[in-house]
Amino acid sequence: MTGIRISAIVAFSCALGLAPLAVAADPGDECCSQPGRIESAKKLLAQSENFKLKASQYHLNAKESIKDAKFLTGKADSLKARAGAVDSNSPKELQSSISAFKEHAAQYKAHLDKVERELGHCHSSESEYQAHLQEYTLHTQQYHLADIKPPHICGRLQMSERDASHVANTLRADQQRLVKSEVDLASAENNLQTSMQNSMQTDAALYHRSQLAEEERKLSGEFAGLKTEYELMQMQRDALLGHAASMGSKSVQGKLK
């Protein structure tokens, strides 16, 4: 229990960016005959606990990002199916599809920025672990000798190192799953963009043709109206000419009498 409390105190102080706190010496460590071994073990133990603390947060972040990537992949597939099904005679429907695509593109960009930061943290954490592992290897080569009884702290250190190794492997697996989810998402996004580009070109052409058809319909109506008006004018003209001819005939007959 004493070892657990010591580890917790050291991890907490490191998480806050503080120097490792001074802790009471374990009675079992007082008999260590190798100068510097206890101090080296304390330093390594603090590094190990700090690494595990940060790695646990990275693990949670990776799980959340993988979940987000799957959600965005599904949304991209849904928008791809929607593309091309827009009624070209409905400008509002076309605009709604474009707006949904733009909103999704913004979400995808924000997701990529977040994943890029997380992968950077994971790479940094891996480098930190490798540097720590090298220090631990040097510690064991220098102090862990078969004919010298190890102090209690080295037992705790070995347990902590096994845990840190397990956590490092978990982080690597998280990275692989995250990268795979991002590859799947990128593929879905590429298909969506291609589909939207093709759809926009097709929809624009259809919309343009529908607009032309509408203009033609209006012109046809206007022409029909003009034709009717022209026919009425012709009838009026004919009627006037007929009336004028009739008046002229009566005038001639009057003169002959």
* Residue 21 pLDDT grade (very low, low, confident, very high; cuts 50, 70, 90): very low
Q: Across all residues in the chain, what is the average pLDDT?
A: 75
Give the gyration radius of the chain's Cα atoms: 42
Name the H helices within the chain. Answer: 2-15, 37-82, 91-143, 152-256
Prediction pTM value:
0.61
Q: What is the pLDDT of residues 162-186, one digit of tens each?
A: 999 999 999 999 999 999 999 999 9
Share above pLDDT 70 across residues of the chain, in percent, rounded to a whole number: 62
Average pLDDT over residues 214-242: 59
**pLDDT of 222:** 57
* Residue 15 pLDDT grade (very low, low, confident, very high; cuts 50, 70, 90): very low
CATH number of 36-218: 1.20.58
Distances (CA, A) of 183 to 36, 77, 165: 49, 14, 27
Q: What is the pLDDT of residues 133-159, one digit of tens each?
A: 999 999 999 999 988 888 899 999 999
Question: What's the token pair of residue 165?
Answer: 């190794």
